Amino acid sequence: MQERLGRLREIMGTRGIDVLVATTPENVAYLTGFFVLTHIRHPMRRLFAILSVQEERPTLVMPTGLLDVVAMQRLQLGGVQTYGPFFIAVSPDLDLGTADEEQRVWVDLLDGLSPAGDSLGALSQVFARLPKAASVCALDEGRMTPSEWMRVQGIVPDMEIVPGYDLLRLARTRKFPDEIGRIRAATAVAEQALWEALNGLRPGMTELEIARFFMARVAARGGIPTLTCVGSGPRAGFPTAEPSLRCLRPGDLVRFDVGCLYEGYHSDLARTAVIGAPSPKQESYYRALQEGEEVAIELARAGSRTSEIFQVATERVRQEGIPHYKRNHVGHGEGLEGYEPPFITPGSDMVLEEGMVVCLETPYYEVGFGGLQVEDTVVVTARGEAERLTSIPRDLFVVEC
């Protein structure tokens, strides 16, 4: 966590920012380590993480009812300011001498409880405690309504408020080893579930059965399914293939684009199967996509420009058998969000750096034919060659029938 805060302070220093306020679940987690699904489920229950360049640790503004998460997750914070009423009784029989640490921390937090009326009232109290020299605040606009933004300006009329969302996303592009470890674990959970789903494919199964099997296998390994696109036959050509009751038939393509959330980090990968022997078009098109993705992986090294990776990968697909191939991107970053910078697009001027985690993909969708896709996750390393986090076979998966 200290490494992340150090990176943020460095960026803040170069931009003349004194205070940084995070609002989205991903950005709050980056600053504090705080992550709970109710922050995603209830977006109007605002959370703020406030980092001052003059303070060692961030302060968290949160609903009083989520205070137990601070104790459970052992968060190292500079302070906690809650808001809103919430009632928690402490047993008169509780012996703090024998209670576990989780309960002791929680009781300590409850003892110091002084909730504000609402989230911005709590934020106002935190601002009032900041060093008077603070003059520029970068406010993450990701979860701020225009009226909330205006109210914050009224809270600190002498402070310049500038957008902070992109600053936080920029800081998150390069991952630290602990983050890469969590993405690696999330990838393993999803791809093991996908591998079992591929091996269980049979004619007559419905897309919905397959998707439910995948999600159950993810959940059994402690993950939360977040991406479950399963399309067969002509429905494989739907980019966002919501699983249906369509049954698998001989000759069908089955396109998987799947991922999960594990310990706060995302995974994303794609594979394609065919029921029975593939047709010449299915086989040649998939091979072309595979070649395009492979060259993208080869170019995913520190110093490579994302727009150049895009151009080379799409041109390779055209050369290898799909001359009309077009794409808007061939990859994206992954981490606390499933889709974050860097983006491998024709107009991007971002240069890959060591520690970036990128999902590389070359999907193809054709109405009346179906869809094919291969997608893998890699880490940009210092040694040049990218480290692949995905390990299951990349070939077109053939289901005998």
Taking every pair of Cα atoms in the chain, the longest distance, rounded to a whole number of angstroms, is 75
CB atoms < 10 A from the CB of 338, how many? 20
**Using CA atoms, how far apart are residues 193 and 216, in angstroms rounded to an integer?**
8
- pTM of the entire predicted model: 0.94
Q: Are 313 and 241 in contact (CB under 8 A)?
A: no
Task: Determine the pLDDT at residue 382.
Answer: 86
* Average pLDDT, integer, range 74-102: 87
pLDDT tens column, 340-353: 999 999 999 899 99
Where are the domains positioned within the chain?
Answer: 2-172, 177-399
Task: Determine the pLDDT at residue 87.
Answer: 86
Q: Which fold has domain 177-399?
A: Creatine Amidinohydrolase (3.90.230)
- Residues 6 or more apart whose CB falls under 8 angstroms from that of 14 comprise none
From the number of C-beta atoms within 10 Å of its C-beta (0-12, 13-18, 19+), residue 74 rates as exposed
pLDDT tens column, 136-165: 999 999 999 999 999 999 999 989 999 999
Supply 72's token pair. 């459970």
Kindly report the CATH number that applies to the domain delimited by 2-172. Answer: 3.40.350.10
CB atoms < 10 A from the CB of 393, how many? 9
Task: Determine the pLDDT at residue 139.
Answer: 97
Q: Are 94 and 107 in contact (CB under 8 A)?
A: yes
Task: Determine the pLDDT at residue 38.
Answer: 83
C-alpha 395, offset from chain centre: 26
* Average pLDDT, integer, range 382-399: 94
Cα separations (Å) of 137 from 48, 242, 298, 333, 367?
13, 42, 41, 27, 49
Task: Determine the pLDDT at residue 79.
Answer: 92
Task: Determine the pLDDT at residue 71.
Answer: 87
**Using CA atoms, how far apart are residues 332 and 357, in angstroms rounded to an integer?**
8
**Using CA atoms, how far apart are residues 295 and 344, in angstroms rounded to an integer?**
13
pLDDT tens column, 209-260: 999 999 999 999 999 999 999 999 999 999 999 999 999 999 999 999 999 9
pLDDT tens column, 205-217: 999 999 999 999 9
Residue 105 pLDDT class (50, 70, 90 cuts):
confident
pLDDT tens column, 46-65: 999 999 998 899 999 999 99
Task: Determine the pLDDT at residue 183.
Answer: 98
Which bin fits 251, alpha (ψ -120 to 50), beta or left (φ > 0)?
left
- Residues 6 or more apart whose CB falls under 8 angstroms from that of 312 comprise 295, 296, 299
Q: Are 207 and 235 in contact (CB under 8 A)?
A: yes
Supply 166's token pair. 């992109």
Task: Determine the pLDDT at residue 364.
Answer: 98
Cα separations (Å) of 246 from 203, 243, 365, 400?
11, 8, 18, 19
